A and B are shown apart, each in its own frame.
Chain A
């Protein structure tokens, strides 16, 4: 296995961090639609790429690889960085 395989094998779907997202946003976010601020493509949050082995969780756009969201939990609180999301549309 080379380094690329290792990185690939650590990739999960946004659906895998459903629990964390629900803790932070108070609702199931995996079916919310997100628009990537980098390339404009629209994807369900559950269909983003998720990286959970970094400090915190990073969600990336499956089309361009750009970072859409970063969530970092510390003993003092939770930081949610959504700079890479043009918008998130939650269904009722």
Chain B
């Protein structure tokens, strides 16, 4: 039996700027338990008057790193929780969290593949945990990531993705929806069915798909993949909800 799920006080060990709007927060957990790639933590903030706000944040780090987790958070300008995590939180602060939770949206090396990952914006976070776990476990399952960002500067984990893509059996495809650098040869539009057909085609219809990001992107992608012949139960979704855009 696993331990009962309890709120615990994590300590901020490090904060790294990923892009202009995205930071990675490393938390040290007194009650760390190994997660499965794709799972999340619930984060709870309590104001002086007792008012509480709770949000979920996916674990970015692989389970192979004991004692701590990375959460990668996009700042939503008119949001309640993410601006606090960005603008107020500093190294050494305490944060109340519970997890890891969410056994439905997980991939482990033993889950097999071929693996089709589709992300929009910060939706890449749990998929990054899967790719980091895939690399750490030495898994060779063919994998493709289709990742939608506004501009090249908004691509989270860009260098690490490049490095990972040069290894066995992982290919990364970017689409930039708001602006492209000169000479850009990748996709330059919102994810649609023809794009999904091109990217998923070589994996075949037996692929195991994980889709994560803004609700609209998740819904378009999930129904397109089912139309392309993937089995409904092999198309897993994680909607991040309103992102203010």
A11 touches B104 (CB 8 A): no
A9 touches B104 (CB 8 A): no
Q: In the complex, what residues of A have CB within 8 A of residue B79's CB?
A: none
Q: A-facing mask of B102-113, CB < 8 A → 1, else 0?
A: 111100000000
Q: Is the interface of A mostly helix, strand, loop or mixed?
A: helix
A5 to B245, CA, bound (A): 11
A47 to B210, CA, bound (A): 12
A40 nearest CB across to chain B (Å): 16
- The contact sample of 13 A-B pairs, CB cut-off 8 A, is A5-B216, A9-B215, A10-B241, A12-B239, A13-B105, A13-B239, A15-B102, A16-B102, A18-B40, A18-B102, A30-B102, A30-B104, A31-B104
A16 to B102, CA, bound (A): 7
Q: A-facing mask of B1-40, CB < 8 A → 1, else 0?
A: 0001100000000000000000000000000000000001
Q: In the complex, what residues of B have CB within 8 A of residue A28's CB?
A: 101-103
Residue A3 lies at the interface, judged by CB distance under 8 Å to chain B: no
A30 touches B99 (CB 8 A): no
Residue A8 lies at the interface, judged by CB distance under 8 Å to chain B: yes
Interface size on A, residues (CB 8 A): 24
Q: In the complex, what residues of B have CB within 8 A of residue A52's CB?
A: 241
B41 nearest CB across to chain A (Å): 8
Given A16-B238, A16-B239, A19-B5, CB of A11 within 8 Å of CB of B103? no
Residue B96 lies at the interface, judged by CB distance under 8 Å to chain A: no
**Given B216, B237, B240, which contacts A8 in the complex, CB threshold below 8 Å?**
B216
B42 touches A15 (CB 8 A): no
Residue A44 lies at the interface, judged by CB distance under 8 Å to chain B: yes
A47 touches B242 (CB 8 A): no
B4 touches A26 (CB 8 A): yes
Residue B63 lies at the interface, judged by CB distance under 8 Å to chain A: no
Most B CB within 10 A of own CB, among A19, A22, A45, A52: A19
